[in-house]
């Protein structure tokens, strides 16, 4: 995975700001260009209530000015000399981000997520999970307190149900090679779970696919996958957790509805979603 372009959608909240700072630090490490984006809404007015209507041109200019000012703040915060291109469009964030991913073809999308119950943070969480379900670009989800300090250990949550596609394996190995990271493959299963033939075959296939990559295998027991992953993180301290949200039924639960948000809110490390 050669990261040349990182796409950062922002709503200017604290959690999206932390994600942007994280992404800029990563870009400085990898030499990537930044696409900084904000979606805004055009106000809907009622004919019964007299209001001053702002033109679409003025709305676009105001949002672009705000984005350019934020670009200056990011460069100041990170102390880097990054190439940051700004984009702003009217519309719903998830739909606009999906279209821009198809148009700009970034190598990585980076978004924030927060566990607080405030309206803005809750919206950001819904946008992040919505983007997760609508794009095929690798998505890096940044918890609100995560700080980029390099990626030395990368954990792959894998349920051994079916083989991973070659494209997904290539992205995983590319990310590992980019940061010269070690790979930790982790499978959370209930106590006394027996390995069936399909899981055994998937395990062999995975071992063959990551041959040459320095890795370790981990099989912690827990009935609750989220609790098991949290305990694994606290013990092993990986810098990044990789998941394949749509390929494996066991893991896809984490990326839908309240379960998805619960995982993102409670993890202390970023989650990289690689679509199969």
What is the per-residue pLDDT for 7? 97
* 129, burial (CB in 10 Å: exposed 0-12, middle 13-18, buried 19+): buried
Q: Rounded to a whole number, what is the largest CA-CA distance in the chain?
A: 70
pLDDT tens readout for residues 21-49: 999 999 988 889 999 999 988 776 655 65
Whether residue 74 is found in the same domain as residue 102 = yes
Whether residue 59 is found in the same domain as residue 186 = no
pTM of the model: 0.85
Is residue 265 domain-resident?
yes
b/e burial code for range 131-144 (CB count within 10 A of at least 16 → b): bbbebebbbbbbbb
Is residue 121 domain-resident?
yes
What is the per-residue pLDDT for 34? 96
Is residue 148 domain-resident?
no
What is the per-residue pLDDT for 47? 58
Q: At what angle do helices 119-132 and 14-30 cross, to 10 degrees?
A: 50
| Interatomic CA distance for residues 44 and 169, integer angstroms | 46
What is the per-residue pLDDT for 33? 95
DSSP letter string, 172-183? HHHHHHHHT-EE
Is residue 201 domain-resident?
yes
Q: Of 100, 117, 143, which residue is a domain's last?
A: 143
Q: Of 119, 143, 167, which residue is a domain's last?
A: 143
Residue 29 lies in domain: 5-143
Read off the pLDDT band of 251 (50, 70, 90). Answer: very low
Domain of 92, CATH number, reads 3.40.50.620
**Dihedral pair phi/psi, residue 220, rounded to 5°:** -65, 145
Read off the pLDDT band of 8 (50, 70, 90). Answer: very high
Whether residue 9 is found in the same domain as residue 136 = yes
Nearest to 132 by CA among 246, 18, 24: 246
Q: At what angle do helices 257-266 and 119-132 cross, to 10 degrees?
A: 110
Let me know: does 36 contact 70? Beta carbons within 8 Å: yes
Other Cβ atoms less than 10 A from the Cβ of 69: the count is 11
b/e burial code for range 174-196 (CB count within 10 A of at least 16 → b): ebbeebebbbbbbbbbeeeeeee
Checking if the pLDDT of 129 tops 80, the result is: no
Is residue 28 domain-resident?
yes
pLDDT tens readout for residues 85-122: 999 999 999 999 999 999 999 999 999 876 443 433 34
pLDDT tens readout for residues 195-225: 665 566 677 788 888 888 899 999 888 888 7
Let me know: does 160 contact 246? Beta carbons within 8 Å: no
**Dihedral pair phi/psi, residue 181, rounded to 5°:** -95, 160
Beta bridge partners of 153: 182
Number of separate domains in the chain: 2
Nearest to 73 by CA among 62, 61, 60, 86: 86
Whether residue 173 is found in the same domain as residue 97 = no
Q: Of 143, 170, 193, which residue is a domain's last?
A: 143
Whether residue 211 is found in the same domain as residue 119 = no
| Interatomic CA distance for residues 103 and 112, integer angstroms | 22
Checking if the pLDDT of 273 tops 80, the result is: yes
């Amino acid at each position: 995975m050669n990261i040349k372009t990182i796409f950062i959608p922002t709503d200017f909240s604290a959690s999206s700001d932390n994600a942007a700072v994280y992404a800029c630090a990563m870009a400085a490490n990898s030499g990537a260009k930044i696409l900084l984006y904000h979606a805004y809404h055009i106000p809907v007015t009622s004919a019964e209530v007299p209001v001053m209507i702002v033109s679409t041109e003025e709305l676009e200019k105001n949002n672009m000015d705000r984005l350019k000012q934020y670009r200056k703040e990011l460069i100041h915060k990170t102390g880097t000399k990054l190439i940051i291109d700004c984009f702003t469009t009217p519309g719903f964030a998830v739909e606009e981000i999906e279209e821009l991913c198809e148009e700009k073809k970034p190598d990585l999308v980076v978004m924030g997520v927060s566990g607080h119950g405030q309206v803005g943070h809750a919206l950001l969480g819904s946008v992040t999970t919505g983007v997760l379900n609508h794009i095929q670009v690798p998505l890096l989800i940044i918890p609100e307190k995560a700080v980029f300090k390099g990626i030395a250990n990368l954990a792959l949550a894998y349920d051994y149900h079916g083989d991973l596609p070659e494209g997904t394996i290539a992205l995983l190995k590319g990310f590992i090679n980019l940061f010269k990271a070690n790979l930790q493959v982790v499978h959370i299963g209930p106590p006394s779970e027996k390995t069936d033939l399909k899981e055994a075959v998937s395990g062999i296939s995975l071992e063959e696919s990551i041959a040459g990559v320095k890795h370790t295998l981990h099989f912690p027991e827990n009935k609750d996958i989220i609790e098991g992953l949290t305990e694994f993180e606290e013990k092993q301290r990986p810098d990044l957790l990789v998941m394949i949200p749509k390929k494996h039924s066991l893991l896809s639960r984490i990326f839908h509805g309240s379960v998805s948000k619960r995982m993102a809110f409670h993890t202390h490390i970023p989650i990289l979603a690689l679509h199969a």
